[in-house]
Amino acid sequence: MPQMGESIFEGTITKWLKTIGDAVEKDEPLLEISTDKVDAELPSPAAGVLAEIRFTEGATVEVNTVVAVIREAGATIPATAQAAANIAQSPVQRSAPPQVAQVGRIRSSPLARRIAKEHGIDLSRVAGTGAEGRINKEDVLRAATTVGLRSEASSATPVEVARDSGRAAPPQVPPPQVAQTPAPDPSTLPVDPVPLTRMRAIIAERMVESVRIAPHVHTVYKIDMTRIARLRDQHKDAFNQRHGVKLTYMPFIAAAAVAALRRFPIVNASLESAPQSDSAGLAIRYHQTIDLGIAVALDWGLIVPVIRRAHERTFASLARSIADLALRARSKKLLPDEVGNSTFTLTNAGAFGGEYGMPIINQPESAILAVGGLRKEPAVVTDAEGNDSIAIRSMQYFCLGFDHRLIDGADGGKFMLEFKKVLENWNQDIG
């Protein structure tokens, strides 16, 4: 179990990707682990044959502990190790749902097939770099980058990049992957209670803690996104060609949030313990940087990767970072230092068609902004001479959740008015 960061002391084995007797290549994914910061794949440190698995799925192991033994190719595996293979195969592995079927004679890893399915990539068009032309995860990620199919950020509580639902008449149609997901057969659902995964348990603990310690207040603003929608339509093709990433709504939203946070640093601050303080043992920590959390919804839980020093980034840099972090979060390639210690979080409650959400603060932050669904609707528009008319506009709800111990309603309102002004009067260069 390798050291995955200075503050990480243990990891939970969530899945073995190989069984005893399987051949493994150097750097080929061997197992998946979950820590209190990130889920990740661990690559094989050498090529050979997996000869021994010392810990089963679900085991929590301290760093620097040997979890498996790899022998040279062709080495004899002891009978005791072969027998242990059945033990190491947890019920989760034996009852796992079938993977996406391979096409023809295409050789690919399960994770590669899953990522390809998520991003609509035809594996027959992907060149495999693994043993005997086997397609691995890196091959699929490379293909996704090449054709500009980087995943849009989604919500961890949940954030996905806001979709261009403004092109369709309301009501907004939910994303295809939601509508097409078949309902599970009740007979296949577990009869006995299923223990929480480590990630799910950590999420539960932190959500309860946040609600317990912070008096949450929420304020909702409807913002006219018509100017942003038009800019996106005009520049999305050129932006994709120039930067190799889709132009979504989220970089606009992130840039507007950063601009508002710079005007009102109290929203980017946090409370911390100060035993010598005369004010109930608390003090305000004004952060010198804006480290923007972009919550991402995963099939197995929720995670908040962080764009460090977001206030120093260009629009294009924000767009690339959002897409990159979301893609690597889903493929378990995030580093521990890329998760945690954010100062403000964006989360997309509207990714699945919701009007708006009332998010729980990501501690120890003091505020979180939920992105609602984007819809075209009739609105009253006033011209320069004060004349009113009805027009079709792209409207979107945004909900700011904040800790009332630190942020008053007036501060929250000022922040949201600045955020609204930046979006409705956009004048930044998008590169």
Positions marked active-site: 404, 408
User: What's CA 323's distance to the chain center, in Å?
Assistant: 10
- Residues with Cβ within 8 Å of 134's Cβ and at least 6 positions away in sequence, in order, are 107, 108, 109, 128
The full DSSP string for 265-285 is GGGG-EEEE-TT-SSTTEEEE
2's tokens: 């390798």
Name the residue among 9, 27, 8 with its Cα closest to residue 17: 27
Q: How far apart are CA 5 and CA 7, in angstroms?
A: 6
Question: Residue 52 — φ and ψ, nearest 5°?
Answer: -155, 135
Counting every residue written for the chain, the total comes to 431
Name the residue among 411, 400, 398, 414 with its Cα closest to residue 228: 398
Side-chain-side CA neighbours of residue 408 (13 Å) = 3
SS3 assignment, position 419:
helix
Q: How far apart are CA 129 and CA 102, in angstroms?
A: 17
Are residues 287 and 338 in contact, defined by beta-carbon separation less than 8 angstroms?
no
- C-alpha to C-alpha distances, 140 to 133, 149, 198, 384, nearest whole angstrom: 13, 10, 27, 52
- C-alpha to C-alpha distances, 201 to 16, 53, 281, 332, 349, nearest whole angstrom: 21, 25, 29, 18, 22
SS3 assignment, position 54:
coil
Are residues 328 and 272 in contact, defined by beta-carbon separation less than 8 angstroms?
no
Q: How far apart are CA 328 and CA 313, in angstroms?
A: 20
User: What's CA 308's distance to the chain center, in Å?
Assistant: 15
Strand order in the sheet with 29-34: 39-43, 29-34, 10-16, 60-62
